[in-house]
Structure 1
């Protein structure tokens, strides 16, 4: 199956403006929620504030990452700076996990001895938070389809909006029925949801940074397609990875038959066209070997030997 690398394209300047607006909105909201949480005694409100603060930090990281990622390759970063957005996503998901565990601990402590809480302050600030979180999610929605960095932000904002709804419900129950235990219970619920989002999404950035093969690319199909080119006897020492989020790369050794060796440039062009057109692999480095002098016992993947010891001589 062809490997589709299509994704949404947002004008960089327009995207930067959206992220800037989101940074200011989350920064102001965080201050308001922390003050309100302290005055009202609501841990759920402070939990939402901490989540919003992590969003603001995430937005700052993402904003900087977007700027840095546009730099061209140089002698220090010969692959370019595009992977900084993957690093930013990993940082953002990691902070979400840490915040989630902290909130579970604090919520558990308050379940034992629920404090007095001013419900109206919780409801009003929760409503303001819901508006800001929804606005931020809308600003980043169209951008997140083409960037793991912005997707991390979008999920932050989406979980914030849902958390704000929970905070409003909790404040209403406190006003109506003095159910103070609802506040730490909602805090724990928010924390569990944060953990779920972060843990299910963090694998993608880790896989990319570990030079894993693109998750939507069938490595076996790529190898079989290469082996199917007339004049190719075999391939080995295959490396498939993502140079950046939407740019797959391959390098490998290609073993040619005696007949194929006589038209090596034509086979190279055919291989590169196949890789690009069928699988979206735009960057490929191919090392050719004659079948009479090919590596013995070479591993299909990696750069080692399939045997216990390398053949010598």
Structure 2
């Protein structure tokens, strides 16, 4: 039993999809240019940037597909619809960031051991292309990145790639002026370490949602205390709290009442519970199992 406070804005979802599609096209252009330029110039940092851009293309395609799936209606065999598609996309994208970083670290170490002369002019021009294209994509996705984990994963891919292009540009200038070619693998290594840093945080957050962990911002004991303070509620037990996606946080619990109340009175108490947990804890889906005199353990707060 319970009602939802969440809202859906299909127009906004369409805008997200359009921005993602533009970013995909731009990143395909960057990737092709940097692969060709990296091979011609011999620059590992440019090739590493191209590899990162290619992972961006894949991640953006996944994010784009997830935004489309998330709009599909629920059905009898998919009662939640595809609401978790964007969380899965965020998880996959975060994992690819970490994998790409490990590959870059390996390549950087090999290049440190075997440094090569690099055509710096081509590196400079192609890194500028990467900065401009990724910078535009970052601006397109920034607004949505603050409120949607899927869009944040795409935004982080593009932001780190823009920063990588800045690093490659600086490296290209240093190589052109001073012929310090060890800068190339050093920048690659720094890019890779930053990818691990941002990728791990997003991977951790998306994993928590997929594993149905209680959101970090919610304390179960405080919810139990808040519901327990409502008149006629004797005990709150067998509590489960999980996040379905970015918009929905669910609570289910067994509530033992101090007397045998009728259904209309329970509905009034349920309204109180819903208002309490929504305004204090941001929980917008509530499912309560009422009990009176039932022989089960009332001491178990969180257990099946």
Bucket of the pairwise TM-score, normalised by the shorter protein: over 0.9
CA distance in 2, matches of 1:287, 1:250: 11
Counterpart secondary structure, 1:56: helix
Deviations 1:126-184 (A, max 9, x none): 11111011011011001111110000111111111111111011111111111111101
> Is contact 1:230–1:260 with CA below 8 Å preserved after alignment?
no
How many angstroms does 1:13 deviate by?
A: 2.2
Counterpart secondary structure, 1:258: coil
Deviations 1:193-235 (A, max 9, x none): 1111101221110000000112222322211111010000001
Question: What pairs up with 1:101-120 in 2 under 5 angstroms?
Answer: 101-120=102-121
Q: Does 1:289 align with 2:291?
A: yes
Deviations 1:73-129 (A, max 9, x none): 112211121110000000001011000000000000000110121010111101111
Matching residue of 2:269? 267
Q: What are structure 1's unaligned runs of at least 5 residues?
A: 304-313
Matching residue of 1:71? 72
> Is contact 1:5–1:280 with CA below 8 Å preserved after alignment?
no
Q: Which moved more, 1:209-218 or 1:93-102?
A: 209-218
Counterpart secondary structure, 2:242: strand
> Is contact 1:30–1:49 with CA below 8 Å preserved after alignment?
yes
Matching residue of 2:280? 278
Matching residue of 2:223? 222
CA distance in 2, matches of 1:228, 1:151: 38
How many angstroms does 1:302 deviate by?
A: 2.3
User: Over aligned residues, Cα RMSD in angstroms?
Assistant: 2.0
Aligned length: 299
Counterpart secondary structure, 2:231: coil
Q: Which moved more, 1:9-18 or 1:46-55?
A: 9-18
Matching residue of 2:25? 24
Matching residue of 1:162? 163
How many angstroms does 1:297 deviate by?
A: 5.3
TM score, norm. by length of structure 2: 0.93
Q: Which moved more, 1:60-69 or 1:276-285?
A: 276-285
Counterpart secondary structure, 2:237: strand
Q: What are structure 2's unaligned runs of at least 5 residues?
A: none
Matching residue of 1:127? 128
> Is contact 1:170–1:182 with CA below 8 Å preserved after alignment?
yes
Matching residue of 1:309? none
> Is contact 1:30–1:52 with CA below 8 Å preserved after alignment?
yes
Matching residue of 2:176? 175
Matching residue of 1:208? 209
Compared CA separation, residues 8 and 186, structure 1 to 2 (3 A): farther
Counterpart secondary structure, 2:284: strand
Matching residue of 2:100? 99
Matching residue of 1:307? none
